[in-house]
Amino acid sequence: MSRDTTTDQSLEHNLRYAAGEAVHEARHPGKQPIQPGRRLAVVACMDARLDVEDLLGLQTGDAHIIRNAGGVVTEDTLRSLIISHHLLNTNEVALIHHTRCGMLAFTDDLLKAGLEGDAAATKMLGQATGRAFKGLDTCSATPSAFYAFRGTPEALDAPRDDHNMERLAWDVRRGMSAILNHPWIPTSGEDAITVRGFIYDVDTGRLEEVSYPGDTGSIG
């Protein structure tokens, strides 16, 4: 991997950000082209503790930022990435999950049961979040999935440990695989995109790269 990609430069910016330096300029830059200047697309969790432009040292106009709960590569994420590459010329993707993510703290079945008014689920979700969980006592077919991370749920906002880091890494790899194996996303030839995955530590401000391919074994 060349050391002068936008992603590599963003990792250098991240070290400075974690050390307390302001690496994003928050001001209107004037007229700019529609194509992201650094040819980067970032997929990141919506978590309030992540300021994506700040932690990567990106400036206005540098990158597409695609965010949702978990930074999950859903069908809609793929839709945005395909448009980002083929119409707007990005060629690097950075996928960012993070420590203490809320997606580690529930399962799809539990949230659906709670929303449908199941008393036990409602009680568990209330205890887990510290917020009175109000079920709606009704069913819905959508969203079809919440994409809670695979593995046994843990307490909300639990500190990082080997187990939850592996759960996070597993979902990063799942997202990277979904991008790299999509038939409309080229990964070889001169139009190829590169995809790299990271876990951001919300306590230190540091990004850590996830190996790919990597272990996809049992994570309980």
- List 210's β-bridge partners, or say none: 197
What residues contact residue 10 under an 8 Å CB cut-off, 6+ apart?
A: 40, 56, 57, 58, 94
Structure tokens at 130: 């510290």
Residue 45 or 185: which CB sits closer to Zn ion?
45
Residue 45 or 169: which CB sits closer to Zn ion?
45
**SS3 (DSSP) at 8:** helix
Residue 45 or 81: which CB sits closer to Zn ion?
45
Distance, C-alpha 75 to centroid of its chain: 14
Asked whether 1 and 197 are in contact (CB, 8 A), the reply is no
Q: Outline where 130-195 has alpha helix (H).
A: 162-180
- List 64's β-bridge partners, or say none: 41
Q: How far is the CB of 102 from Zn ion (least distance, A)?
A: 5
Length of the chain: 220
Residue 40 or 101: which CB sits closer to Zn ion?
101
Q: How far is the CB of 70 from Zn ion (least distance, A)?
A: 6
Q: How far is the CB of 202 from Zn ion (least distance, A)?
A: 9
Residue 43 or 81: which CB sits closer to Zn ion?
43
Q: Which residues bind Zn ion (CB under 5 A)?
A: 45, 47, 101
Spatial distance between the Cα atoms of 69 and 168, rounded to a whole number of angstroms: 13
Q: How far is the CB of 175 from Zn ion (least distance, A)?
A: 13
Q: How far is the CB of 200 from Zn ion (least distance, A)?
A: 9
